[in-house]
Amino acid sequence: MCRYILNIPYNNLIVAKKNSRLFMPDQIKLKKYFIFIAVLSWGLLVGSTIFYSATHGKATPQTQLADFLSYALKAIFVFSVFMVQRIRVQNYKGLDLLGYLWKLFFRAGITAYICAVMYLGYNWLKPDHPEPNNYLLHILYAVNFAFFVYFIGKAFHIWRVLILHQKTKALMLEWKIFEWALFGTLILSLFQFSFLDFIFIPLQPLLAIYAVFLSFHLKWVAYITGGKKWRVILLLLAILASMGIFIQVFISLNNQLTVYNDFLDNPFIRLTTLFVLVYPAFSFLVALFSLPTASVFEQKRSDLLNFQRLTQLIQKGEDKPQVFKTFFESAVNASGSDAAWLELLDEEGAEVIEFINIQEEQLQKIRSEVQNAVGHNFDYVNNNLDNSQLRRLNLPYKSIYVTPLRAAQRTFGILYLLKEVEQGFDRETINVIRTFVSQTNLTIENLRLAEEALQTERYKEELKIASTVQESLIPKTFPSDSWFEISCFSQAAKEVGGDFYDFLQLSEGRIAIIIGDVSGKGISAAFHMAQMKGIFHGLMQDDLEPVKFMVKANNALTHCLERTSFITSSLYIIDYKLKGIFFARAGHCHTLYYNSMTEETFYFNTEGLGLGIIRDQNYSKRIHNMHYDYNPGDVMVIYTDGIVEARNKNQEEYGEERLREMLTQTYHLEADDIKYAIVNDVNEFSQDMPIHDDQTLIVIKFRNVQPNFSA
Amino acid sequence: MKITQEIKDKTITISLNGELDASSSVLLDEELSKPEIMLFNKVLVDCEHLNYISSAGLGVFISHLQRFEDAQIKLIFFNMQEKVKNVFEILGLDLLMTIVSTYDEAMTVSNE
């Protein structure tokens, strides 16, 4: 079950991957266009700047147009760089949060240092040329600008990822409003109308406040764990330093150059810069000040992970030692214990299976003290061992927590945790340990159930084999002759049953038929049934008369039947030459008979004790030889009590009378059809009730036309 | 299956109520196996409310029959329903065990 649930996100992942692959060519194409536009617009921007700076000071009619062109190129450049970064950052796959910061620093932050090196290089070469080289400065300025836009573009989108970490619908909306407002300012800045100032002057501070507000979404910092936190802090510092260098270079360049067109004089760039600067600054502060509390969260996280691991152990099909190991490690980890051990209890005593920092000698002393105090069915907490009996042991430990592992109302293990400080086990810690304990109990119980299920499966398999073996013991081919027909039905209530029947051809025209029912059901009954079959074939080789057979069989069974078991059986010898049936009934159901001469249906109500009830020579007094002369057309019905004791919903039994009635109505049919009629009637009577005893039915019909057997 | 006992002098009357099948016959076997049962002269089994007896139930009586006989304790069934009696008869147990119709009769039989 769980396996399927786990699979769902995995499948989704594949689907998502496929989708992104589908869109990939479009995105790559789009990115190429934007890169082309960015490079082109930047080239034109640089060209026009240099051109107009050469003619700087001369008021030409084209100035306004030139201004607009320059603004437009700048806007196009900024927009395309942002779009490229948007696509790039979206395609960063499989990165953790730290990875994003690395990307930002190594891809974009580095450019700040390149700019700084270029600027310093220019100043270093300057003494040779006392006149400031306006062209070179302009190019330097434009390169610095390009790198800066690249940097804020990437930073903007990476901050976007971080802000939207664990996003909500509301947060998505807040961010979208921010993006649209920013791009709105980019478009508005194209139009150099004076009235725009009235919009920008109140709008910019508002947007700035909004940017600061968004910068408070710092959830991602909480997900940075352990040593990574320091790396994040250092990276954030490096990124902030990059920003500082960029700004420093811009200020220095501005001092040396009367720039014709201040590239940074743009509300979009100003706002983005503010945002790009404020967000890492906040992140840095939050990361720094969360350092002292980080360990608490990390402990909780590791508790949760350990808990998950324990739960998953069952699904992975792990064995008990693995479960105990995981439990022990989790518990020691969660409590921060200085010493601990885990022992399993069985009839012979305790066996330590996991331990840490504890000597055998100490362990035994502590165990006996604790067991004397509380026994092994209860929790035991002592946070001040100096005030307890355990002080005598002179231990370095000041706190102890002992908790039993219980399943099926039995303690099967005990966990001991020790700490060197006082008050080491507060309520919080104990609750966590208890959660681990109950999960472990559940896991162990589940493992046991899984094992049991496997065992049951194995038994079922073996029962199936037994069933097949028994099936082979029941005769498949019936003796057929021209003077009688025979039809058999047999159905076991369980996989194996205690009913049996068999035939043996004694000589020509002389056949022995046996039917029997072993008391009880299931495997033991099946064994006795097999025994009885062996006794039948063994003894009847000597063509015994029925009573002699029963007495000998009773003797034989004395030694192999348990005291509470017995067998009921009837043996019939049908002799064609004598036209007679010789039989003995050992406690078995009465034989039903139809006499075609008198047209009567009746039971042979004879006496006879079951086998295995009296286990001495007295048995021969309790069994009698019977004889009956048959006529052509007579029908004999032999059955076990499963037939007459079949029940319906009202707990009524089918009974001998219904059976007799059925034969009265069907005696004229062939043996097969009589059998089917009776079986159907029994089934109809009991309807959907499960059969609770094995059912066997044999119908023998003496043919109307008897062949002439000459002796 | 409910099994109740009533003791009067040297006679114990065990009343069976319900169906004596494979599982309930274990309870009956426990009752009959108790050592104190050997202190009585007669063990009467009231079958008035015994609706069904399985081969396992019969097996319990059969297994204790010899033991009681050896200790000269009389085992007597009474108030037996017709269909239950039929089961005893088919198996031939009616000739081996004492089955009477009433409690009074059972008391007289055992006093013989």
Q: What is the pLDDT of residues A271-294, one digit of tens each?
A: 899 999 999 999 999 888 888 887
B56 touches chain A (CB under 8 A): yes
Chain A residue at shortest CA distance from B67: A563
Cβ <8 Å between A607 and B58 = no
Find the helix packing angle between A320-335 and A427-473, rounded to 10°: 170
Query: Which pLDDT band holds residue A133 (cuts at 50, 70, 90)?
Result: low
Instruction: Name the CATH architecture for the domain at B2-111.
Output: 2-Layer Sandwich (3.30)
Q: Mean pLDDT score of chain A, rounded to an integer?
A: 84
pLDDT given for residue A48 in this prediction = 79
Chain A residues inside the 8 Å CB shell of B60:
564
Worst-scoring range by mean pLDDT, A206-220, A626-640, A662-676?
A: A206-220
A-to-B residue pairs, Cβ atoms closer than 8 angstroms = 58
Task: Give the CA dihedral A633, A636, A637, A640, nearest 10 degrees.
Answer: -170
For chain A, first and last CA: distance in Å? 74
Residue A9: predicted pLDDT: 41
* Mean pLDDT value across residues A186-209: 75
Contact check, Cβ <8 Å, A566/B83: no
User: Which of B33, B53, B70, B90 to mutate against chain A (most A CBs within 10 Å)?
Assistant: B90
Chain centroid to Cα A350, Å, comes to 33
> Is the torsion defined by CA of B29, B34, B40, B41 positive or negative?
positive
Domains present along chain A, CATH in parentheses: 2-306 (no CATH), 317-451 (3.30.450.40), 474-702 (3.60.40.10)
Which pLDDT score is estimated for A129?
Answer: 62
Are the beta carbons of A653 and B63 separated by less than 8 Å? Answer: no
> DSSP letters of A145-188?
HHHHHHHHHHHHHHHHHHHTTT--HHHHHHHHHHHHHHHHHHHH
Q: What is the ipTM of this complex?
A: 0.90
Partner-chain contact A564 B62, CB within 8 Å = yes
**Yes or no, beta carbons of B56 and A517 under 8 Å apart:** no
What are the residues facing A631 on neighbouring strands?
A: none
Span of A434-438, A468-472, A637-641 with lowest mean pLDDT: A468-472
Nearest residue of A to residue B94 by CA position? A609
- Looking at residue A316, its pLDDT comes to 66
- Is the overall model pTM greater than 0.80, yes or no? no
| Of B51, B56, B96, Cβ closest to residue A613 | B96
Q: Do A609 and B29 touch (CB under 8 A)?
A: no
In chain B the first and final C-alpha atoms are separated, in Å, by 32
Pairing mode of beta strands A600-604, A399-407: unpaired
Q: How confident is the model at residue A333 (pLDDT cuts 50, 70, 90)?
A: confident
Residues 70-109 of B with CB under 8 A from A: 83, 90-93, 95-96
| Closest A-chain CA to B61 | A564
Instruction: Give the pLDDT score at A573.
Output: 95
Contacts 24+ apart (CB under 8 A), A21-29: A27/A87, A27/A90, A27/A91
3-state secondary structure of B63: helix
Contact status of B58 with chain A (Cβ, < 8 Å)? yes
Query: How far apart are the C-alpha atoms of A294 and A291, rounded to whole Å?
Result: 5
Strands of A410-419's sheet, edge to edge? A349-356, A339-346, A410-419, A399-407, A380-382
Q: Pairing between strand A399-407 and A410-419? A: antiparallel
CB contact under 8 A, B91 and A587: yes
In the sheet that holds B74-78, the strands lie side by side as B2-8, B11-20, B42-53, B74-78, B98-99
Which has the minimum average pLDDT: A88-102, A147-161, A662-676, B94-108? A88-102
Structure tokens at A361: 């000698």
Chain A residues close to B95, C-beta within 8 Å = 607, 609, 622
The DSSP 8-state label assigned to residue A690 in this structure reads: P
How close does chain A come to B21, measured CA to CA in Å?
Answer: 10
**CA-based nearest residue in chain B for residue A586:** B91
In this prediction, residues A47-70 reach a mean pLDDT of 66
Measured CA to CA, the distance from residue A592 to residue A422 in angstroms comes to: 89
Average pLDDT over residues A73-87: 89
Percent of chain A predicted with pLDDT > 90: 30
- Which of A8-22, A116-130, A167-181 has the lowest average pLDDT? A8-22
> What pLDDT does residue A391 have?
77
pLDDT of residue A54: 66
Nearest to B55 among A520, A607, A614 (CB): A520
CA distance, residue B49 to nearest chain A CA (Å)? 15
Per-residue pLDDT at A342? 92
Closest alpha carbon within chain B to A604 = B90
Q: Which residue has the tokens 């472990």?
A: A440
Q: What is the DSSP letter of A94?
A: S
The closest CB to that of A566, out of B22, B62, B95, belongs to B62
Report whether pLDDT(A194) > 60: no
- Among B33, B91, B94, the residue to mutate for chain A (most A Cβ within 10 A): B91
Q: Of the given ranges (A9-23, A71-85, A215-229), which has the lowest mean pLDDT? A: A9-23
pLDDT of res. A196: 60
What is the least distance, in Å, from the CA of B90 to any CA of chain A? 5
Q: Is the pLDDT of residue A206 over 60?
A: yes
Model confidence band, residue A326 (pLDDT cutoffs 50, 70, 90) = confident
pLDDT in tens, B6-56: 998 889 999 999 989 888 888 999 989 988 888 898 999 999 999 989 888
Q: pLDDT tens digits for A214-262? A: 898 888 888 887 678 888 899 999 999 999 998 888 888 877 776 555 6
Q: Which of B55, B63, B95 is opposite residue A563, by nearest beta carbon?
A: B63
Chain B residues close to A651, C-beta within 8 Å: 51
Using CB atoms, pick whichever of B56, B92, B96 lies closest to residue A520. Answer: B56
Pick the residue of A519, A623, A693 with the most B CBs within 10 A to test the interface with B by mutation: A519
Distance CA A236, CA A673 (A): 95
Contacts with B18 from chain A: Cβ below 8 Å: none
Q: Which of A562, A567, A613, A643 to mutate: most B Cβ within 10 Å?
A: A613
Shortest distance, CA B46 to any CA of chain A (angstroms): 21
- Mean of per-residue pLDDT scores for chain B: 89
Inter-chain CB proximity B59 and A519 less than 8 Å: yes
